[in-house]
Amino acid sequence: MQNRIEELKRSFVTSLGAAGSAESLEALRVEYLGKKGYVAELMKGLKDASDKKAAGQLINEFKTEVEDSIAKATEELRAAQIAAKIRGAKKYNPTLRAEAEFGSYHPITLATREVEEIFVSMGFTIENYFEIVDDYKCFEALNIPKHHPARDMQDTYYLDNGQLLKTHTSAAQNAIMKKYGAPLRAIFPGRCFRNESTDACHENTFFQMEGMMIDENISISNLIYFMKTMLSEVFKRDVKVRLRPGFFPFVEPGFELDINCEICGGEGCPSCKNSGWLELCPCGMIHPNVLREGGIDTEKYTGFAFGLGLTRLAMMKYGVKDIRDFNSGNLKALSQFKSI
């Protein structure tokens, strides 16, 4: 028995050295460990052995040795194959020019920057503000108490902790008044959210640019002057606008500033709900309650505020017919704008 095992060991080592593929290793495994293999044959011969216990032990050792050697050879073969693949792979050359294409600015970014530049040149600072705010900032500080019907127009998304996604950039008015006090000139662009059904001119996510100017003797004339200057700078030509009364609890008096629809030229189309006009910039004189809530002395100061629809402005400026294109991620539409 012992001699036979020694003999098998030698022939196994020779065969293993010659096995250069997964298939030949498998064949070797079957030859030695398979049902009709050498190990099975040795087991059969066990009954004739004089010292069965010692012989059994020898067979087991041999079996383990064969198993381990085949497993090790299989693993080495796999590692060698991977190494060969890596060696053959295309080499990374850090000195080559990047093949990636450059992106382009989103039209809303372009419109935001343009309006920012205009207002900065008129002495306004740019403020950044959160997208998640509380009820106080979005409504109560703006003279919209709980259960006020004006809230119906601004249904939004509420978080479990009672906070909400801001429905308008006006949600920053109170914090900015408290931060700077009067006199004050600031604009604050931001993303706003409303629970709305979408169509060509409505989206649940859109951008506004709020502006506030608070000082002594600020009147409606100042408001109209700033709005006109901004629009003529953005469009680089005279655009037809109309001012009509509008109601917002945080301004008194309040206005809707509409712009002649640039897509249909005022004839009426889906982008302007067939009216020929687009509500672009609601505005008004800041309500004394709102100024007071922001810690401003209403005996001394007055101010105006506006909420420019940046998304709508970008639609008019760039002739985008459907507001949903902005959030679509459709590169065909978006990559037409100024590249980075």
Contact criterion met (CB below 8 Å) for 210 and 298: no
Question: By CB under 6 A, is residue 168 in contact with ligand PHE?
Answer: yes
Please state the closest distance from residue 95 (CB atom) to ligand PHE, in A: 52
Please state the closest distance from residue 208 (CB atom) to ligand PHE, in A: 6
37-40 long-range contacts, CB within 8 A, separation 24+: 38/8, 39/63, 39/66
Question: By CB under 6 A, is residue 188 in contact with ligand PHE?
Answer: no
Q: Among 307, 310, 312, 326, which residue sits at the site for ligand PHE (rule: CB under 6 A)? A: 307
Say which residues have a Cβ less than 8 Å from residue 183's Cβ, sequence separation at least 6: 214, 215, 216, 301
Q: What angle is formed at CA 184 by the lines to CA 116 and CA 171, rounded to 5 degrees?
A: 70
* Cα–Cα nearest to 33, from 23, 22, 24, 41: 41
Q: Give the number of residues in contact with ligand PHE, rule: CB under 6 A.
A: 11
Please state the closest distance from residue 106 (CB atom) to ligand PHE, in A: 21
Please state the closest distance from residue 162 (CB atom) to ligand PHE, in A: 21
Question: By CB under 6 A, is residue 294 in contact with ligand PHE?
Answer: no
For residues 70 and 278, which CB has a smaller minimum distance to ligand PHE in the complex? 278
For residues 2 and 158, which CB has a smaller minimum distance to ligand PHE in the complex? 158
Question: By CB under 6 A, is residue 143 in contact with ligand PHE?
Answer: no
- Part of the chain binding ligand PHE (CB under 6 A), chosen from 5-13, 42-50, 220-228, 282-290: 282-290
Q: How far apart are CA 74 and CA 80, in angstroms?
A: 10
Question: By CB under 6 A, is residue 174 in contact with ligand PHE?
Answer: no
Question: By CB under 6 A, is residue 280 in contact with ligand PHE?
Answer: no
Say which residues have a Cβ less than 8 Å from residue 235's Cβ, sequence separation at least 6: 262, 316, 317
For residues 52 and 242, which CB has a smaller minimum distance to ligand PHE in the complex? 242
Q: Among 284, 293, 314, 323, which residue sits at the site for ligand PHE (rule: CB under 6 A)? A: 284
Q: How far apart are CA 120 and CA 125, in angstroms?
A: 6
- Part of the chain binding ligand PHE (CB under 6 A), chosen from 60-68, 110-118, 122-130, 280-288: 280-288
Question: By CB under 6 A, is residue 59 in contact with ligand PHE?
Answer: no
Q: Among 296, 305, 314, 323, which residue sits at the site for ligand PHE (rule: CB under 6 A)? A: 305
Coil vs helix vs strand at 83: helix
* Cα–Cα nearest to 189, from 203, 206, 210: 210
Q: Strand (E) positions, 118-262?
A: 125-126, 132-133, 164-165, 184-193, 205-215, 241-245, 251-260
Q: Among 182, 186, 209, 283, which residue sits at the site for ligand PHE (rule: CB under 6 A)? A: 283
Q: How far apart are CA 38 and CA 34, in angstroms?
A: 8
For residues 59 and 257, which CB has a smaller minimum distance to ligand PHE in the complex? 257
The C-alpha R_g of the chain, in whole angstroms, comes to 39
> Largest Cα–Cα distance in the chain?
119
Q: Is the peptide bond before 183 cis (omega within 30 degrees of 0)?
A: yes
For residues 45 and 253, which CB has a smaller minimum distance to ligand PHE in the complex? 253
The residues facing 267 across adjacent strands are none
Please state the closest distance from residue 132 (CB atom) to ligand PHE, in A: 17
Please state the closest distance from residue 82 (CB atom) to ligand PHE, in A: 60
Return the residues of window 214-253 that contact ligand PHE according to CB under 6 A. 248, 251
What residues line the site for ligand PHE (CB under 6 A)? 168, 170, 248, 251, 254, 282-284, 305-307
